[in-house]
Amino acid sequence: GKHRIVIPCLGHFREEYEKVSKLYMNNKIRTTKYTLLNFLPRNLFEQFHRVANLYFLFLVVLNWVPLVEAFQKEITMLPLVAVLTIIAVKDGLEDYSRYKMDKKINNLLTKVYSR
């Protein structure tokens, strides 16, 4: 029948464990949405899927046209930049807490039954 080989990751089994473990995927949990490299582009992509953010972006772009300029260009950008920054900080903190929880769960000690 089918059987399973379990090799402990300590002592004199360490070399054999490292050789065999390369053949299999790990079972680490990862619930985070972002990495350090993709945080900014992915977060902006998600935020501009909201209609309100697109509306304020449209107002900013429209205000840069000299014929339509209603306010100073920089003042029009303030609400959009403030909202994007606050949401990005909130998303970053939430993702960091998920990362810490994943790390805690992945480093839990596990008991293995052995006859």
6-59 pLDDT, tens digit each: 666 667 777 777 777 777 777 788 999 999 999 999 999 999 999 999 999 998
- Residues 68-111 pLDDT 10s: 777 777 888 898 999 999 999 999 999 999 999 999 988 887 77
Give the gyration radius of the chain's Cα atoms. 25
Indicate left, alpha or beta for 20 from its phi (over 0: left) and psi (-120 to 50: alpha). alpha
The pTM (predicted TM-score) of the whole model is: 0.70
φ/ψ (deg, to 5) at 67: -70, -30
